[in-house]
Amino acid sequence: MNAHGARVRCLAIASRSCSGGGTRVRPFSARRAALVSSITPDPPCDSWHLAEDTFDVVVSGEAAGLVTRLGELIGTAACESSAARAVRRGLHQTASVPGNWIAASVHQGVVREVVGSTSSSQDAPLPAPSALFGISTVFDVFDHNPTAHVFSDSGRGCIYDCTFCSEGMSAVGSRPQLDGAAERLYGQLATAATIVAEDHPVRKAAAFVEDSVFLGGSPRAIERFVTLARAHPPGGTFGCQFTIDQVLARRDLLIALVEVGLSYVFVGLETSEPLMIGGLSKNVRPQTAWLHRMEAVLAFLSSAGILCGVGVLFGLGEDQQSRLRLVSVLERWRTTYGSPCTVSFNWAVQHPLRGHDGGRNYRYLDWALPNTDWISAFEPFGEASALYPLAGRQHPRLSEVEELRGAIETLNRSNLDTAGAAVSRNH
């Protein structure tokens, strides 16, 4: 509600990454946002068409400066009957606000965009979100302790640049900022520990590092971070993301990270057979089968006492049998390794990707799940859409998604059984 009594709706949007964008794993990262109505599973009203005023403005990107300008627009809307309408009408006035962002609103069935002045984009390090907003999230992998979202800001885009991912560097900018990244991350972890000590004195601090891959995967930056954290432990425990091949190539570094608080690693598994989907750019050691390497990751992380979560992404071009096989492999791994403890299932959605959308040019004006059958079938998924498949890929079939839902529910039950067995063994 603004000062004039008009409701101004705000939407934090997310992107798909190694973490799978799974709401079941962690809240979306609003910083690397992509405008896709398809991530919203439920329509806000009876219509499956996105109403003009469903969202006032959707902002994607580094909008620290834009927030202030939008606030000014709302403030000048005293004479307007609707502050939201005033903001939509005045959106073009924000174009001079520096930053790597896009703002959009819907007018008469057309999405109007305003793009920030990237030539003067923001290079100053951003403050730790926990210092500004406190910590209200908890992750079960951290024993439900308050969990901060922390960033090294080591780069805008991920170097692997997977074609389906909204964090790829071709979509969000390619300038790595590795200088000072270890220090920034260390500072954010230390800040999070301080905030938890002040706001939640009986809890322990936890944090999830939101880098697409931890410190850009740079061994030098990771070593620097370990040096800092060994000298003055930031306090608390943390999790982060690596690719399968990074884990296998940096085992010594991961063990060093455990000493300074690492307890959880999230890995983007995506698919069982990268060749079937035309390859994965992060699959940099294809001499050994993808699933064999993932199993080696689980064996290593388990031996190092690190919990593991994985992201699975269907809709990349695989067939239904391969999907079902993958779910049963996950079940076998849980029995063998007690891991992955968390699986985020997603169905690949074509994001706008600032024009790198394979020529799809979706308008995104219809809700991604067009009826309750689809909502029900995709219930165990994080990001999913029946309407916006990746460029060159088929739309999902309802019967297949329903079959997958059954397999995933069986997997989740086996998870509970495995957890129960682990508890029994411990007692």
Task: Return residues touching ligand SF4 (CB under 6 A).
Answer: 17-18, 158, 160-162, 165, 167-168, 212, 243, 268, 282
Nearer to ligand SF4, 17 or 40 (CB): 17
Contacts 24+ apart (CB under 8 A), 280-284: 280/162, 281/160, 281/161, 281/162, 281/163, 282/160, 282/162, 282/243, 282/244, 282/245, 283/244, 283/245, 284/243, 284/245
**Least distance (Å) between residue 378 CB and ligand SF4:** 20
Nearer to ligand SF4, 52 or 161 (CB): 161
**Least distance (Å) between residue 179 CB and ligand SF4:** 21
Nearer to ligand SF4, 67 or 284 (CB): 284
**Least distance (Å) between residue 168 CB and ligand SF4:** 4
**Least distance (Å) between residue 290 CB and ligand SF4:** 13
Distance of alpha carbon 138 from its chain centroid, rounded? 16
What order of strands is seen across the sheet that includes strand 206-209?
147-150, 206-209, 237-242, 262-270, 307-314, 342-347
**133 Cβ contact partners less than 8 Å away, ≥ 6 residues apart:** none
**274 Cβ contact partners less than 8 Å away, ≥ 6 residues apart:** 280, 283, 286, 290
**Least distance (Å) between residue 119 CB and ligand SF4:** 25
Nearer to ligand SF4, 271 or 418 (CB): 271
**Least distance (Å) between residue 42 CB and ligand SF4:** 26
CA quadruple 31, 386, 268, 133: dihedral sign: positive
**Least distance (Å) between residue 68 CB and ligand SF4:** 30
Nearer to ligand SF4, 14 or 158 (CB): 158
Q: Do residues 348 and 316 touch, judged by C-beta distance below 8 A?
A: yes
Q: Do residues 188 and 228 touch, judged by C-beta distance below 8 A?
A: no
H/E stretch holding 101: strand 101-107
Neighbours of 259 (CB within 10 A): 11
Q: Do residues 21 and 313 touch, judged by C-beta distance below 8 A?
A: no
- Return phi, psi of residue 41, to 5°: -75, -25
Nearer to ligand SF4, 29 or 37 (CB): 29
**Least distance (Å) between residue 213 CB and ligand SF4:** 6
Q: Do residues 318 and 271 touch, judged by C-beta distance below 8 A?
A: yes
Nearer to ligand SF4, 43 or 217 (CB): 217
**Least distance (Å) between residue 268 CB and ligand SF4:** 5
Nearer to ligand SF4, 283 or 415 (CB): 283
Nearer to ligand SF4, 153 or 366 (CB): 153
Find the distance separating the first CA and the last CA of the chain, reported in whole Å: 52
**AA letter at 338:** G
Alpha-helical segments (H) within 174-319 = 181-199, 219-231, 244-249, 251-259, 290-304
Distance of alpha carbon 342 from its chain centroid, rounded? 14
